[in-house]
Amino acid sequence: MPESQSSPADRSRVEASAGHSGSLFVAGSQAAWPICLGYVPIGLAFGVLAQKAGFSMPEVGLMSVLVFAGSAQFIGVAMWQGGAGALAIVATTFVVNLRHVLMSSSLAPYLKRCRPGFVTVFSYGVTDESFAVNLGRFRDQSWDPKRALILNQAANACWVVSTVAGAGAGQFIPERAFGIDYALIAMFLCLLVFQLRGRIYVMTGLIAGVLALGLSLLVPGNLHVVTASIAAATIGYAVRDRKRGT
């Protein structure tokens, strides 16, 4: 959706409700439901896996609270089960989660004038999913840092609860029910559509996608996300800059 096109009526509605903590909370959590739909099956699956690897329910909960990063937690538990040392697991986690640098950076312009304490709490909840949903909403101008923080925390709560539930009762829950495995992919597809605001964005997206696909086949892990994103954004930037110059 093009920016700066929300009507004055929209804006005054947002401002009128901004002071009302009840509606803030509702708006933030409501925006989180597609994320939660995706987190529940993944969280349950992680809980089951962790429990099989010898982690107790409190340990699963502790990891989900302290780390809050799906793929890193899967990898960590698998490595632990394979007998890897804590240092190797921590180093792998660092590499796997480096992509958040880019996400936090592109959220930064929307958190200007927020206090460092707020930014610190907010940054805890930056995931692939919350980043993408919040960014789409910020662009619509119908969003503010407080709602974004509530969304982060709602998604976090879903993650923690579903991983612990998976560790406790995961073996009784049927897998792959009702296409729920596809929830996050479908969500990302729609969020991608929101980002296609002109030819330069389509081009950048295509370059990033093809590059990431190629790299992901060559290199294990997920460094392809960061590498392809940086390369594609830089190419897109250069192309747009040259058009401006002429």
Interface with another protein in residues 129-188 (CB under 8 A): 131-133, 135-136, 176, 178-183, 185-188
- Closest Cα partner for 146 from 65, 27, 51, 237? 27
Q: How far is the CB of 105 from another protein (least distance, A)?
A: 4
Which window, 5-13, 18-26, 62-70, 161-169, contacts another protein (CB under 8 A)?
A: 62-70
Q: Residue 220: what are its φ and ψ, rounded to 5°?
A: -70, 170
Tell me what percent of the chain is helix, strand and coil, each rounded to the nearest 5: 80, 0, 20
Q: How far is the CB of 11 from another protein (least distance, A)?
A: 19
Which window, 17-25, 119-127, 154-162, 166-174, contacts another protein (CB under 8 A)?
A: 119-127
- Closest Cα partner for 81 from 112, 124, 49? 49
**Which of residues 12, 21, 120, 171 is near another protein by CB under 8 A?**
120
Q: How far is the CB of 24 from another protein (least distance, A)?
A: 19
- One character per residue 16-55, x = contact with another protein (rule: CB under 8 A): -----------------xx--xx----------------x
DSSP state at residue 130: H
**Which of residues 99, 156, 164, 170 is near another protein by CB under 8 A?**
99
Radius of gyration of the CA atoms of the chain, in A: 20
The answer to whether the beta carbons of residues 164 and 60 sit under 8 Å apart is yes
- 217 lies in the site for another protein, by CB under 8 A: yes
DSSP notation for 89-123: HHHHHHHHHTTHHHHHHHHGGGGTT--HHHHHHHH
Q: How far is the CB of 87 from another protein (least distance, A)?
A: 8
- Closest Cα partner for 28 from 118, 191, 120, 146? 146
Question: How many chain residues bind another protein (CB under 8 A)?
Answer: 100
**Which of residues 4, 5, 7, 105 is near another protein by CB under 8 A?**
105
Give the nearer residue to another protein in terms of CB position, either 16 or 206. 206
Give the nearer residue to another protein in terms of CB position, either 16 or 193. 193
221 three-class SS:
coil
Query: Which residues have a Cβ under 8 Å from the Cβ of 188 and sit 6 or more positions away?
Result: 132
Q: What distance in Å separates the CA atoms of residue 11 and residue 18, rounded to the nearest whole number? A: 10
- 102 lies in the site for another protein, by CB under 8 A: yes
**Which of residues 13, 16, 21, 196 is near another protein by CB under 8 A?**
196
Q: What distance in Å separates the CA atoms of residue 89 and residue 83, rounded to the nearest whole number? A: 10
**Which of residues 14, 18, 24, 67 is near another protein by CB under 8 A?**
67
